[in-house]
Every structure is written in structure tokens, then in C-alpha cells.
Amino acid sequence: MLKKLFVLLAATFMIAACDEPAPATAPPPPPPPAPQSFMVFFDWDSAKLNPQATNVVGQAAAAFKTKGGARITATGHTDTSGSETYNMALSLRRANAVKDALVQQGVPATAIAVVGRGEQGLLVQTGPNVREPQNRRVEIVIAQTMAAAPMDDAAYCRALAKKWRELDRTDPSGPAPQAIAKCDAGDYAAGIPVLVKILTDSKVPLPPRT
């Protein structure tokens, strides 16, 4: 009888365990968007943008402005005519010409990296000393940058406290030290707004939350 009771209890426990919902798992973060690319072509032995190339640069600049945070890489190339040393310099001049045009279109210069590859990375494979128009180009690649994770309340309160200490250490019992004490106790909802107001009223730039 006792053995049957144990078997019954074990079966009941197993059924109850099966009925428990599986723990929820957080969905994986979405992958970053695929880079967007544009191609600018050049005349032979030239780093000057023609009207068609200028139009492509304008499209790239417009695409960059829709990203809300991105980086551009302008990579210059040449065909195989001419020496490797000359072509390396020419590819870099082409990349810089595209960068200058992007800046004129409102793209920050600090968001653009230029690379010169000379005869490397041919779009159309050819032998030496071949004037191939498709190889005389700059590839513009726009890649979305990943946003930094925002500070949690504890880290943000520490950053605010650091700003206040740089501003004033003369009143150890005033509202700022009291607000810092609130944060230290985990009451961020009470401490952070006070520190933000004190710094804002003192015209001190607030630390970013990222």
C-alpha cells in the first residue's frame, strides 16, 4: 500500500512539472542593417568627379542622413594601366575627391574614412596595362553604427555626482549630497532629478546617458 502511494505521488509530481510553463527567454537582439553601397566611376587618369559621379555622391549623402548614426568608407581603385606606385596615389586622390564631395553635401568629415587600394580589388579582372573603365572607381559603403547601451540609474547617478563634486564641495549637508545619499541607498527616482536640476541651474552640461 505504501509503495503504491509513493508511485502515485511521483506520477502526480511529474504531471505537475510538465504543466509548468517553460521559462520565457529574451529574444536575441536584431542584427545590424546590411551596409549600403554606391559606386562612383572616373575617367582615365582622373580624380575629377563628372556629373554622373556627382549625382551618385548626392544619393550616398542622402542615404547617410537617413541612418541617424553611420560611418562611410570611401575606397578608391584604379585600372592596371600605369605603375603600381602611381595608381596607389591616384586611388587615394579619388577617394579624397569623393570625401570632399560628401562633405559639401553635408556629411561630417569625421564620419568618412578614405582608403586607397590602387590596382587591388579589380571589379573586372584584366591583365596589366589595361584601361578598364569599371576598375576606375570609388566604392562608398555606408555602415550603421551600433548605439551604445544607455547607462543604468546607478552609473548615471555616479556620473552626476562626479559633475557636482567638480562644481562644489563646500556644502556637505546641502541638497546635492542628500540626493547622492538617496542614490547610494538605491532611491534613484528621488536622487537623480535633484542632481539634474542643480547641475542644469548651474549651467553645467549633463553627462550623456550612453
Q: What pLDDT does residue 187 have?
A: 86
Say which residue the cell 542614490 belongs to: 183
**Residues 112-156 pLDDT 10s:** 999 999 999 999 999 999 999 999 999 999 987 755 556 788 888
Nearest to 92 by CA among 69, 59, 114: 114
Question: Average pLDDT for residues 182-200, to the nearest whole number?
Answer: 86
Query: For the chain, how big is the Rg over CA atoms in Å?
Result: 30
- Interatomic CA distance for residues 10 and 7, integer angstroms: 5
Which residues, including other chains, have CB under 8 Å from residue 74's CB and lie 6 or more apart?
A: 95, 96, 98, 99, 102, 112, 113, 114, 115, 138, 139, 140
Q: Which segments of the chain belong to CATH 3.30.1330.60?
A: 36-144
Q: Are strands 137-144 and 70-76 parallel, antiparallel or unpaired?
A: antiparallel
**Residues 26-41 pLDDT 10s:** 455 555 667 889 999 9
Q: What pLDDT does residue 151 have?
A: 74
pTM over 0.75: no
Nine-digit cell at 3?
Answer: 509503495
The CATH H-level superfamily of 36-144 is OmpA-like domain (3.30.1330.60)
Nine-digit cell at 51?
Answer: 556629373
Report residue 26: phi and psi, to 5°: -70, 140
Hey, how many other C-beta atoms are within 10 angstroms of the C-beta on 142?
A: 21
